[in-house]
Amino acid sequence: MNTKKNVNPQTEFHKFFVEQLKDIYWAEEHLAPALLKMSRAATSPKLTAAFKKHHDEGSKQLAQLEQIFSLMGEKPQGKRCAAMAGLLEEAESMIEDTEANSLVRDAGLILAAQKVEHYEIATYGTLKALADYLPEKQVKRLLNTILTGEKKTDGLLTVLAEEYVNECAAQE
């Protein structure tokens, strides 16, 4: 079925979409302090800067998500995201299980961060596709903006890993 129509706020589709927004909103709220902790744990100044940059972008993303909630006639609120909670626990383990001031730790932090990014990319990509069926067209544009930022962060982490972190970690 390829027809697009306006979605009534009382429909199961609207409720489902809003529940997924609540999930990613919670994820973004809880990622922010984790990114600061990861930036403090990183050895490489470039990786530290990347985590801080993504932290700052997270504030903008939360504001964009709040706009989406508003466009949907909903109050911005989070719902515990078990997936993100698990990914953040894994990031914490990377810090605990690796030696401070090592590039092995940085490789682990990049691994943990890319798992988070891939979760976010999957979520925002799916929400963007679902937004085609919402009457609020601005929702899709906002989701696309967030998705583009997540993909850029993932790309930056890949570059850092491939430029020097992985090779240096392997030599430690």
Residue 91 lies in a domain: yes
Q: Is 125 within the bounds of a domain?
A: yes
Q: Which of 143, 97, 101 is nearest to 122 (CA)?
A: 143
Predicted confidence (pLDDT) per residue in 90-112, tens digit: 999 999 999 999 999 999 999 99
H or E element in which residue 18 lies: helix 12-41
* CA 171-168-121 angle, 5° bins: 130
Interval 140-146 mean pLDDT: 97
User: What are 25-62's pLDDT values in tens digits?
Assistant: 999 999 999 999 999 999 999 999 999 999 999 999 99
Written as six digits, the tokens of 7 are 């979605």
Whether 6 is covered by a domain: the verdict is no
Q: What is the CATH number of the domain that holds 141?
A: 1.20.1260.10
Domain membership flag for residue 134: yes
pLDDT of residue 8: 59
1 lies in a domain? no
Report whether pLDDT(6) > 70. Answer: no
Q: How far apart are CA 126 and CA 120, in angstroms?
A: 10
Q: In this model, does residue 7 exceed pLDDT 70? A: no
Structural domain boundaries enclosing 71: 12-171
Report whether pLDDT(114) > 70: yes
**Cβ of 106: how many Cβ atoms within 10 Å?**
27
Higher pLDDT, 91 or 136: 91
pLDDT for residue 135: 87
Evaluate whether residue 37 is within a structural domain.
yes
| pLDDT score, position 107 | 98
pLDDT band at 11 (very low <50, low <70, confident <90, very high): confident
Q: How many domains does the chain have?
A: 1
Q: Give me the DSSP letters along 94-114.
A: HHHHS-TT-HHHHHHHHHHHH
Q: How far is the C-alpha of 49 from the C-alpha of 33, rounded, in Å?
A: 15
Whether 4 is in a domain gets the answer: no
